[in-house]
Structure 1
Amino acid sequence: PPDLIAARPRLLLARVWAQFHMSRPRQAVRILKQAKILIGQLAERGEIDRATTRSLKAELQTLTAGVISATDRSRTATRVASRWLADFPEDEPFARGTLANICAFSHYSLGELDAARLRSLAARDHHAAANSVFGIVYCDLLLGLVEISAGNLAEARRLLDRACRLARERLGPGSYTEAMTAIFHVELAYEWNDLQGAERILHQHRQIIEECGLVVHEMACKLHLARLSAAHGRHDEAIVFLERAERLGIEKRYRRLTAAALNERVRLLLSRGDVRAARLALRSRGIEPSAESRPAPIHPLDEYAHIGAARVLIAEDHPAKAIAVLDRIAERMRRDGRLRGFMQVRALVAIAAHSAGETLLALAAVVDVVTLALPQNALRSLIDEGLPMREVLEFARSRIPAWSRNSSTATFVDTLLRELGKTAPERARPIAIAVKKQMLSSKETDVAALLLRAYTNRQLAESLSMAPDTVKWHLKNIFGKLGVSSRTEAVLKLKEIGLDAATERQLAG
């Protein structure tokens, strides 16, 4: 009963743990304040002894740092966690280990990989002393994330395998502890272009993560649902997933998720030639794709949003401006040792330089990319860049003799080119300003054909075997391209520009 919970600090703290792990930091903050006041009152009245008070305050500190971290205030979280760890009760190994893990994750979020490694290794010792399976598994998970960021994918797999194995041995198959680790196996399988393996792992653990995962786990789940959909050519479905991920990031105040999803959405929009929609997507999140005279520092949590902006600049034939943005991000990633992200950014630099005719820069960048990608067998980050990446690789292979000889590098480049050839992007469709020149995608044409017949959204979804959200997405695109705001206006405009006959033929076909 609520009255009983309100009178018992342990029960209040248990509720905070639950809210924290279900990514509800605002609810957790309210209960934390309630618990802090109650602990102070009970201690003042002498109703709990000094040892119990110290234990409760240690747990309170751990949860406070956790909630701060969950609201994406990573610098504040590292500062308070480091201060409290310096004077933390030695007889509270679980709380101490958890606080060290929170500090480690916050350092990781800021790109401070060495600090993250040290904190997580210390946390593992504390959790081993506490005999906490969850704590030990989470330490290995964090260490795995650090190695993914560093570009050491084989070491990351070893750490994640160890964590999953311990979870299964001690807790049985299908536990939350296993799921929160396994979801990052999806990232490795996807990067290695094992799409079937990535899908199998994702769908095996998706339900648990979506019901009660931390934001970082939800982020991995939603981004890979989108990436796998896009890899199979279902771009509209992928964009719907990404829009949901962006909304989740805004709702949870988790900038890193919003930025990552935005970058992916921009990439997909540009792959089908919709530069206008890509620019609008960035503007809707407060980002203007242009070079500033005095550029402000780019926070690590916002990097991928600015990478998305650089993509738009390349598409709009401003490669020099794009390179200026990308170089700022790449320099920090290189300095931090985040070599996987550095590789991805240098791939875009190579694409931009090639489009600008900057031969030496394009070659230098693509050599960096292949040099970093080969040891970790990183394929999908490059395959997903599509035709521009293939053009850069073909350009470089004809000019770098070592890439034509019998070598591991030549084999890797050939594999990349072969896979890039399989995943030819949709032909870019011009999005003209003049209404008479507007073009609809094949899916949009299907929707428009039924729109002309006055189908409702539900009928559209059933007739075209689409999700309701996908139908809404297509309608929004159609309205934007026609410059209208209602179904009636859309029908009139379609007839006015002579697309009614074309869409009828599409329907008949």
Structure 2
Amino acid sequence: MPETAFSLRAEMLLNVGCAYLESGRIAQAHSTLTEALRLSRTGQQKRAEIFASYFLGKVSLAQGRLQQAFMQYQEGLHSHSDVPIAGVLHVGIAEIDYERNDLESAKRHLQDALHAGEQGGEIKPLVYANIALGSLLTPQEAVQRLEYATSLTSWTLLYAWQALWWLRAGHTSMASYWLEDTRAHEAQLSEFERLVQARILLVLERCEDAALVLDSLQANALESQRHGDVIRILLLQAQRKKTQGKWDEALQCVAQAVERGEREGYIRTFLDEGEPIYQLCRHLANQHPENRYLQQIVQQFMKIVLQPVLLPFGETLSQREVEVLQLLAEGASNQEIAGKLFLTTGTVKWHVHNIFGKLDAKNRTQAVNKARGSGLLGKVQREVKRM
């Protein structure tokens, strides 16, 4: 078979495999992408091989096999670390690191992905990395990242991500507009888009509508053995049942999610659901003190419940301001702070302005000196270590 034929067939299979993946048809996605990987290797098509490896990792993630996905990404990077498009594999590893709550490693891999995309002029590593960065930023900052991503591509799934972060930023009306827009093409929605629909419906307390979406998603995920997706759906079901006053049923959903998540060590999937799931996990942990994994989840929940740093003047510093103040004390410039925290320089200037106001300082030196003089900086450093 001519080299061009290998390339064309591999690309075609990649597109088909991705369509299967988005629709939740995991078995078909796996077989199609595996064949795409074989053809791309036979035809020495590096780009197609990298994407086949990336999406096969996504298949493993949907199945709840974190370690298998990690090994697929690592293998791809080992073979093609010099190719800019391999930045997508860094994104894949970052997502697994994030799930395991290794946030520093996740940040490093996302920096590598951004660097690869920028240096090589590759859009997909930039888009995927900016989506993944949302989980490491505030909801408002995540929205800014997604606005940048939408300027790079017309990928419709980005609008679902925007709706998700609007929701988490408290812009329920914006998320609701997206929800209403999806009504016109319900049959064409991906599994992820339907999951975002369910989240919005829960916030709107339209529990019966959310139940219709979640029950359908759960049945499909169970049938196709997408265990990773089942965990997320169960946690949303738990929140729905808790809202409806069905406490025992909510606990059962969380218990099932814990049972499914233990083997691969899921952490952030639980933590990111916030206070409702924390309450349920804590209740279960009290009932089952022998369950080490459940105890670990509760301990991690407690670590991320970061209290704002109280200033002597009655003001408080937000979590982001705590991080910025620490970097100011280290002498970092606005641009350096932006790079370390994945922010724009404009956002950094806004945080610095707020810090100056709360500390009644006119410049950086004065702000740092006041923080040190009041004993605040030592407290800030302790809070940063906890994060």
Could you say whether these structures have the same fold, taking a TM-score greater than 0.5 normalized by the shorter chain as the test? Answer: yes
Residue 347 of structure 1 and its aligned partner are, at CA, apart by: 0.8
SS at match of 1:337: coil
Q: CA RMSD in A?
A: 3.6
Q: How many Å separate the matches in 2 of 1:106 and 1:374?
A: 30
Partner of residue 115, structure 2: 207
Partner of residue 308, structure 1: 199
Partner of residue 174, structure 2: 281
Is the Cα contact below 8 Å between 1:255 and 1:302 reproduced in 2? no
SS at match of 2:262: helix
| Most deviating of 256-265 and 357-366 | 256-265
Residue 90 of structure 1 and its aligned partner are, at CA, apart by: 9.1
Q: How many Å separate the matches in 2 of 1:305 and 1:127?
A: 34
**Which residue, 283, 289, 292 being the options, matches 1:404?**
289
Q: Which amino acid aligns with 1:149?
A: A
How do residues 365-380 of structure 1 correspond to structure 2 at under 5 angstroms? 365-380=253-268
Q: How many residue pairs align between the two structures? A: 330
Residue 203 of structure 1 and its aligned partner are, at CA, apart by: 1.0
CA offset digits 1:69-108 (Å, max 9, x no partner): xxxxxxxxxxxxxxxxxxx989722222222222212221
Q: How many Å separate the matches in 2 of 1:473 and 1:504?
A: 10
**Which residue, 13, 30, 35 being the options, matches 1:117?**
30
Q: How many Å separate the matches in 2 of 1:404 and 1:149?
A: 30
1:253 correspondence with 2:154: yes
Q: How many Å separate the matches in 2 of 1:119 and 1:473?
A: 48
Q: Which has the higher contact order (CA 8 A, sep 6+)?
A: 2
Partner of residue 488, structure 1: none
Is the Cα contact below 8 Å between 1:151 and 1:376 reproduced in 2? yes
How do residues 408-487 of structure 1 correspond to structure 2 at under 5 angstroms? 410-424=291-305, 467=344, 470=347
Q: How many Å separate the matches in 2 of 1:338 and 1:420?
A: 25
Residue 225 of structure 1 and its aligned partner are, at CA, apart by: 1.8
Residue 339 of structure 1 and its aligned partner are, at CA, apart by: 2.4
**Which residue, 212, 218, 224 being the options, matches 2:126?**
218
1:185 correspondence with 2:93: yes
SS at match of 1:164: helix
1:143 correspondence with 2:51: no
Is the Cα contact below 8 Å between 1:185 and 1:201 reproduced in 2? yes
Q: Which amino acid aligns with 2:275?
A: L
Q: How many Å separate the matches in 1 of 2:80 and 2:143?
A: 30
Is the Cα contact below 8 Å between 1:137 and 1:166 reproduced in 2? no
Inter-CA distance 471–287: structure 2 relative to 1 (3 Å threshold): farther
Inter-CA distance 299–404: structure 2 relative to 1 (3 Å threshold): same
Residue 424 of structure 1 and its aligned partner are, at CA, apart by: 1.3
**Which residue, 5, 19, 36 being the options, matches 1:106?**
19
Inter-CA distance 163–364: structure 2 relative to 1 (3 Å threshold): same
Is the Cα contact below 8 Å between 1:339 and 1:372 reproduced in 2? yes
Is the Cα contact below 8 Å between 1:243 and 1:261 reproduced in 2? no
Residue 246 of structure 1 and its aligned partner are, at CA, apart by: 4.8
Q: Normalised by the size of structure 2, how large is the TM-score? A: 0.73
SS at match of 1:254: coil
Inter-CA distance 250–360: structure 2 relative to 1 (3 Å threshold): farther
Instruction: Percent identity, please.
Output: 17
Partner of residue 62, structure 1: none
Q: How many Å separate the matches in 1 of 2:177 and 2:148?
A: 12
Is the Cα contact below 8 Å between 1:189 and 1:195 reproduced in 2? yes
Is the Cα contact below 8 Å between 1:320 and 1:356 reproduced in 2? no
Q: How many Å separate the matches in 1 of 2:121 and 2:50?
A: 17
Inter-CA distance 209–507: structure 2 relative to 1 (3 Å threshold): same
Q: How many Å separate the matches in 1 of 2:186 and 2:145?
A: 29
Is the Cα contact below 8 Å between 1:226 and 1:242 reproduced in 2? yes
Is the Cα contact below 8 Å between 1:128 and 1:136 reproduced in 2? yes
Is the Cα contact below 8 Å between 1:147 and 1:156 reproduced in 2? yes
Is the Cα contact below 8 Å between 2:254 and 2:281 reproduced in 1? yes
Residue 144 of structure 1 and its aligned partner are, at CA, apart by: 1.0
Inter-CA distance 341–265: structure 2 relative to 1 (3 Å threshold): farther
Partner of residue 454, structure 1: none
Q: How many Å separate the matches in 2 of 1:137 and 1:251?
A: 21
CA offset digits 1:201-236 (Å, max 9, x no partner): 111221222563354x4343112222112xxxxx2x
Q: How many Å separate the matches in 2 of 1:250 and 1:207?
A: 18
Q: Normalised by the size of structure 1, how large is the TM-score? A: 0.57
Partner of residue 189, structure 2: 299
Q: How many Å separate the matches in 2 of 1:288 and 1:122?
A: 36
Residue 145 of structure 1 and its aligned partner are, at CA, apart by: 1.3
**Which residue, 251, 264, 272 being the options, matches 2:165?**
264
Inter-CA distance 138–411: structure 2 relative to 1 (3 Å threshold): same
Unaligned runs of 5+ in 1: 1-87, 169-173, 230-234, 270-276, 428-439, 447-460, 475-502
Residue 334 of structure 1 and its aligned partner are, at CA, apart by: 2.8
Residue 411 of structure 1 and its aligned partner are, at CA, apart by: 0.7
Q: How many Å separate the matches in 2 of 1:311 and 1:246?
A: 25
Inter-CA distance 392–362: structure 2 relative to 1 (3 Å threshold): same
Partner of residue 81, structure 1: none
Stretches of 4+ moved more than 6 A in 1?
88-91, 440-443, 471-474
1:394 correspondence with 2:274: no
Unaligned runs of 5+ in 2: 309-314, 322-333, 362-387
